[in-house]
Structure 1
Amino acid sequence: MREYDLIVLGGGTGNIVAAAAADDGFDVALVERDRLGGTCLNRGCNPSKKLIHRADAAETVRNADSLGLDASLEGVAFGDIVDEVIEEVTEAAERKAERAREHERIDFYQTEGRFVDERTVEVDTGDGQTELTADRVVLAGGSRPMIPDSIDGTDEVEYLTSDEAVRMDELPDRLVVAGGGYIAVEMAHLFGALGTDVAVVGRGDVLLDREDREVAERLTEAYGEKHELHLGREVTELRDGGDETVVVAESDDGERIELTGDEVLLATGRRPNSDRWNVSAAGLDTDDGGFVETDEYLETSVDGVYAIGDIAGNYMFKHSGDKEAEHVVETLTGESPSAVSYPGMTHAVFGSPQVGSLGKTEGEVDGDGYEVGTYAYDDTALGSVLSNDGGFAKVLVTDGGKVLGCHVVGPHASMLVHEVSTAVAAGADAETIAETIHVHPALSEVVQGAFRDVRDVAPSGM
């Protein structure tokens, strides 16, 4: 048995903890079965957004005539694009691995690992099984695509998950996407803008049904103009149709439809990897979804064992996982423990249009003590040029000026929402944001306009 000061399980967000603890003098074992960087670097955020940037460029060219520009898209070197992106992220992962192997206080086990006791993990070193133990363990074990048992035929027919979708060699002629969440929305945009005929089957009556309702409706309307949408339906079966795959979907009242595609993407959510790490052997409590339960300090039901990132399920975002990693490092290195908090927590969906969101949706706000302010892209000088799809910002504010939520749908929404994130984290109220001097004619005026609307400040002229 090999003893360490700290064992870190998972090399995505976990590598932040491992590196910081090792720099602080801890002897660290870092266990990751795949490449360092986790899902985000290798199969998720980074490759998908690099590819989506190409899709955005292609869409801009296709819509150039709306700006009086004569431009055309002559072709898409899809395989070359994917190769370039995967090469970039792979090199980044390999650089992380090299730094881990060179660190004098880190032993990097690039192999499977499983709990066999509370603070004991078994790994395969190539020469047999070895047990690692430490008084402190950080579980950053991540998540993976979830394939519902309710879909028949998944063991007989080939399909894509988001893992494979960002590594395809060829652009499909027709893609059927099962799911209506952020992965489905982003992948539909990616492939559709590059030339694929896309059909989306979603259970809700709108796409992104966890977003603010007005935002979800606006995005759904935009997607309905570009893609084939079948909402209020759930995929129940995949069937081999020769050169294509048959997708069967049903509505709540039993109405069945059949779609075909040369590729099918199941974007039906993600599940925590708690089973793969055998957390039951460590005595770690999990909830009904398999997420490892933690207290306000991110400590699990076992003393000295912490959980962060997707496997803990507080938020399933890389940026929230990074915040949790920072928090655990402070706890491990002797600083006074404090409850984890997520000031100004935001997220974004990189579809077309983009969505940026902070705080509560209107459907989540309790009671009547709040006001709503909205402002359209079209009501700003730059926004009217960039957005022809009805984009807007919407803010929810208490009667006293506290910001409850901010939701943006339109170009660069993922960036615009950060003005509000910073303000909220700094303790600013709605009136402060409304009265802050904004660059004219920058897109940030869309957000300012929503706050001016809700607080009724500043003259607007004739």
Structure 2
Amino acid sequence: MDEFDFLVIGSGSGLDVANVAANQGQSVAVVEKGPLGGTCLNRGCIPSKLLLYHADVLETIERAGEFDIDAEVNDVDFEHIVRKVNEEVQADADSIRRGLRSSDRHTLYEGEARFVADHEVEVSGGEDDGARIRADTVLIAAGTRPAIPPIDGIEDTDYLTSQEALQLETPPDHLVVVGGGYIAAELGHFFETFGSDVTVVGRRPNLLPNADSEVAAAFTDQFGERADVYAGYEATSVAQADGEVTLEAREYEYGEEGGVVESGESVSVTGDALLVAAGRTPNTDTLNLDATGVRTDDRGFVATDDYLETDVEDVWALGDIVGEYLLKHSANHEAQAVARNIFGSDPEPVDYSAMPFAVFGSPEVAGVGATEAELRDAGREYATNTYDFADTARGDAMHAEGFVKVLVDLDGEILGCHIVGPDASTLIQEAVVAMKAGSGTVRDVRESIHVHPALPEVVQRAFSGQFSRGGHEHH
């Protein structure tokens, strides 16, 4: 039995806490079954955003004609683009591994952690198969993996998840995507830009169903100009033959209250590659948590208190596996909180207020705070205002479609901000800072001087216009 002060399962944001422990002079064990660095580095944000920027450059060139510029693309070395990105990611993961292996304060165990008691795990598989580790403090940060929905025939079909899609060295002729969330939006945009025909089949009435419904509808319309979108369809079966995959899906008819009234027509879609992007499932089922007092919720995520401690004293959890926000910046924020709560003198609950998200599709989408539907469902009084990109000088110059939508309470406190359009991921930050660092009211944005004629003016004007109670109006 190897004894440590601190054990972390997973090498994503949990490593941030492990490093704090090591800097406090504690002995630290890290158990990781895959490449070092977690989902974000190896299978998520980093490779996808590196690839997506190439798509943005190509899309810019293809739109040059709109601006009376005659430009053409002579060649795209897709294989080199993908290989270069994956080599960069691999180098980063190897660097983390080397750092842990050479550290005299960390011990890396490569394999899958399975609990045998509250503070004790056994490593199975990998280089350190069979090792037993006990630690005074344990941090569960083992992440999630792609969820595979129960589609008839899926077990007998060769399908891609986001992980394999990010490594394809040739774009498919026709990519069929199951799922309508951010992974479908981003990877659909990537492959469509590089020449694939793309068909997206999503269960909800719009793509990006977690975004504000007006933003989601606008994104779905714009995305649908370049890809075939079946929103409100559930994939029911899939079959593979002669190198092609045929997906059957059934339309849902949604009732007034959002429930499914009846299923409508069926459609059949055939392509040469199938991407399953239907959400994420927590890796709790690999950890043998039955050997512990750690509880999971009804979705399988680790249950914690407001401080991110589980039901077992000195066993903590953070990141995707707690299921609060499946976002890297949320996991980093949680890591700061856990480090403070374990090693600081004054524990504080995790503050999830003003947690932004962004989708790097075409167009970009970003949001923070409550959506209009959430406010309505909660019976909150609110006012809203929307302002179009095209009504600013810079937005007009860019031929920008999209808008900024602001939701406030009747005292002017910012409840939410939602953006669809160019640089949404950057523009949202102004609302986040106002909500966190300022008084949190519309005046913080409205009365700050904005550079003219830069794009953030669209945010200022959305915060400055005529608000409507309970509804919205465009200007």
Answer yes or no: same fold by TM over 0.5: yes
Q: Which amino acid aligns with 1:296?
A: D
CA contact (8 A) 2:353 2:369 kept: no
Q: Who is 2:155 aligned against?
A: 155
Q: Who is 1:45 aligned against?
A: 45
What SS class does the counterpart of residue 382 from structure 1 fall into?
A: helix
Cα deviation digits, residues 111-152 of structure 1 (max 9, x gap): 221111111010147475121111210000100000012x01
Q: CA deviation at 1:283?
A: 2.1
Does 2:199 correspond to 1:189?
Answer: no
**Aligned partners of 1:410 and 1:84: how far apart in 2?**
29
**Aligned partners of 1:161 and 1:176: how far apart in 2?**
12
Q: Which amino acid aligns with 2:140?
A: L
Q: Which amino acid aligns with 2:448?
A: T
Q: Who is 2:16 aligned against?
A: 16
Shifted more, 154-163 versus 368-377: the winner is 368-377
What SS class does the counterpart of residue 367 from structure 2 fall into?
A: strand
Runs (4+) of structure 1 moved beyond 6 Å? none
Does 2:364 correspond to 1:354?
Answer: yes
User: Match for 1:323 among 299, 318, 333?
Assistant: 333
Q: Who is 1:448 aligned against?
A: 460
Question: Aligned pair in 2 of structure 1 residues 454, 119: CA closer, same or farther (>3 Å)?
Answer: farther
Does 2:272 correspond to 1:262?
Answer: yes
**Aligned partners of 2:392 and 2:323: how far apart in 1?**
39
Q: CA deviation at 1:442?
A: 1.0
Q: CA deviation at 1:92?
A: 0.9
What SS class does the counterpart of residue 275 from structure 1 fall into?
A: helix
What SS class does the counterpart of residue 156 from structure 2 fall into?
A: coil
Shifted more, 348-357 versus 20-29: the winner is 20-29
**Aligned partners of 2:202 and 2:238: how far apart in 1?**
15
Cα deviation digits, residues 257-293 of structure 1 (max 9, x gap): 1111110101111000001122222221111110000
What SS class does the counterpart of residue 393 from structure 2 fall into?
A: coil
**Aligned partners of 1:322 and 1:103: how far apart in 2?**
22
Gaps of 5+ in 1: 457-462
Q: RMSD across aligned C-alpha pairs, in angstroms?
A: 1.4
Question: Aligned pair in 2 of structure 1 residues 334, 367: CA closer, same or farther (>3 Å)?
Answer: closer
Question: Aligned pair in 2 of structure 1 residues 48, 234: CA closer, same or farther (>3 Å)?
Answer: same
What SS class does the counterpart of residue 209 from structure 1 fall into?
A: coil
CA contact (8 A) 2:111 2:129 kept: no
Q: Who is 2:5 aligned against?
A: 5
Q: Which amino acid aligns with 2:145?
A: R
Q: Who is 2:451 aligned against?
A: 439
Q: CA deviation at 1:386?
A: 2.2
Q: Who is 1:234 aligned against?
A: 234
Percent identity of paired positions between Structure 1 and Structure 2: 46
Q: Who is 1:336 aligned against?
A: 346
User: Match for 1:405 among 416, 419, 422?
Assistant: 416
What SS class does the counterpart of residue 452 from structure 1 fall into?
A: coil
TM norm structure 2: 0.93
Q: CA deviation at 1:245?
A: 0.8
User: Match for 1:376 among 384, 388, 391?
Assistant: 388
Q: Who is 1:140 aligned against?
A: 141
CA contact (8 A) 1:181 1:267 kept: yes
Equivalent residues, number: 454
User: Match for 2:428 among 417, 436, 451?
Assistant: 417
Q: Who is 2:283 aligned against?
A: 273
**Aligned partners of 2:127 and 2:161: how far apart in 1?**
30
CA contact (8 A) 1:347 1:356 kept: yes
Q: CA deviation at 1:342?
A: 2.4
Gaps of 5+ in 2: 253-262, 469-475
Question: Aligned pair in 2 of structure 1 residues 70, 164: CA closer, same or farther (>3 Å)?
Answer: same
Question: Aligned pair in 2 of structure 1 residues 14, 454: CA closer, same or farther (>3 Å)?
Answer: farther
Cα deviation digits, residues 359-418 of structure 1 (max 9, x gap): 000011133521111111111111112244x31100001111110000010000001000
**Aligned partners of 1:373 and 1:143: how far apart in 2?**
37
Q: CA deviation at 1:73?
A: 2.0
